[in-house]
Copies of this chain bind each other. A is one copy, B any other.
Amino acid sequence: MPEPGPVLRPIGRVESPLVDAGGAPNQGDEGAPEAWLVLEASVQEAMRDLEIGAPAIVLTWLDRADRETLVVHPRGNRDRPPTGVFSTRSQDRPNPIGLHTVRILAIDGTRIRVRDLEALDGTPVLDIKPVLGPVGDR
Contact with B along A81-97 (1 / 0, CB 8 A): 00111111100011101
How many copies are assembled?
Answer: 2
Would you give the 0/1 interface string for A40-66, flagging 1 where the beta carbon is closer than 8 Å to chain B? 101101111111000011010101000
Q: Are A132 and B27 in contact (CB under 8 A)?
A: yes
- Chain B residues, CB < 8 A from A95: 8-9, 11, 59, 126-127
- Are B86 and A128 neighbours in the complex by a CB distance under 8 Å? yes
For the complex, is A5 an interface residue (Cβ under 8 Å from B)? yes
Please state if A10 and B1 are interface contacts (CB–CB under 8 Å): no
Q: Would you call A24 an interface residue if the criterion is a C-beta within 8 Å of the partner chain's C-beta atoms? A: no
Q: 13 A–B contact pairs at CB < 8 A?
A: A5-B61, A6-B61, A9-B94, A11-B94, A43-B94, A45-B71, A49-B86, A50-B86, A51-B87, A86-B127, A93-B127, A94-B127, A97-B126
